[in-house]
Amino acid sequence: MTFALPTDTATRPVAVLGAGTLGRRIALMFATRGGQVRVYDPAVQAGQDARAYVEQKVAEVAAGIEGGTPGTVTATTDLAEALAGAWLVVESVPERLELKKRVFADLDRTADPDAILASNSSSYPTSEFIDHVTRPERVLNMHFYMPPQQPAVDLMSSGHTDRAVLDLLLRELPQYGVLPFEARRESTGFIFNRIWAAIKREALSVVAEGVSTPEDIDAMWASTMGTRGPFRTMDQVGLDVVLDIENHYAAKNPNLPAGPRELLRRYIDAGHLGVKTGRGFYDDYHQAD
């Protein structure tokens, strides 16, 4: 089935559902071309924090994008208010399948008929949560990494996505300072995340088995690769998010080792989720990034 593409994208808002670590960064990137971004989150404080984050950083980020100019961001706890007139809706809620099914059913009913519905899910293909979506041709995965520092974006069809939707996003997204790459067939973990998952899991195994420590592994990684190590990266993503993703991979492949998930649970049970709680594998965080 074909889909009537949204028009006037330059003057219509973008809606982001979820004000967490990635949600606020997604909102930041879509606020770099002078338009309006609306962040929806049922928690008032989370929305306010996301708005403050975007307002603090948008001028600097927009200055680094050709044609960029700071836009505006609002936060709301009213889903209909967030969606009204939006040409693009990006879901960035926790990695829980039943939750995503409910969210996309709500989006399908409430968003404008020509709005593109995208999921930032890092492990679930959208084919798994469009059961109650009447227009699946407008639904796809749009998975961000950690913009603006890591600007890559995976695009992947739900299996029903109109080809014109993918082509539109491949053209439009670079204007917001992000780099889209299309997964040519459905893949759990998409492109880079499949590679990252293997690295992350083995790093966790090395610590779980008592072979090394997060600090030493990160130091070795930095000395060899010249970039931040896997444990600092997991702290930034959020250890609860990392565990949700690992649980999903394990459901798909029961042969994966349990040690990495058990290690993550110990930190999570102690309330150490990473940067957002001030402590994860490291305890030197003073405020959420």
* In the predicted structure, residue 289 carries a pLDDT above the cut 60: no
Q: Rounded to the nearest 5°, which phi and psi values hold at 265?
A: -60, -35
* In the predicted structure, residue 85 carries a pLDDT above the cut 60: yes
pLDDT at position 248: 84
The CA dihedral of 197, 200, 206, 207, to the nearest 10 degrees, is: -140
pLDDT at position 172: 96
pLDDT digits (tens, 9 = 90+) for 100-118: 999 999 999 999 999 999 9
* In the predicted structure, residue 49 carries a pLDDT above the cut 80: yes
Q: Give the chain's domains with CATH numbers.
A: 14-182 (3.40.50.720), 192-277 (1.10.1040.10)
* In the predicted structure, residue 67 carries a pLDDT above the cut 60: yes
Average pLDDT, the chain: 94
Rounded mean pLDDT of 225-242?
A: 94
Q: What angle do CA 279, 289, 27 make, to 5 degrees?
A: 140
Rounded mean pLDDT of 90-94?
A: 95
Task: List, in order, residues 6 or more apart from 23 with CB less than 8 Å away.
Answer: 16, 17, 39, 41, 50, 92, 120
If you write DSSP's letter for every residue of 169-214 in order, what string do you get? HHHHGGGGT-EEEE-SS--TTTTHHHHHHHHHHHHHHHHHTTS--H
pLDDT band of residue 288 (cuts 50, 70, 90) is very low
* In the predicted structure, residue 2 carries a pLDDT above the cut 80: no
pLDDT digits (tens, 9 = 90+) for 115-135: 999 999 987 899 999 989 999
Share of the chain above pLDDT 90, in %: 87
Q: How far apart are the first and last CA of the chain?
A: 42
110 contacts 80 by C-beta, under 8 angstroms: yes
pLDDT at position 41: 97
pLDDT digits (tens, 9 = 90+) for 149-207: 999 999 999 999 999 999 999 999 999 999 999 999 998 889 998 899 999 999 999 99
pLDDT at position 193: 86
For the entire predicted model, the pTM comes to: 0.81
For 15, the enclosing helix (H) or strand (E) is strand 14-17
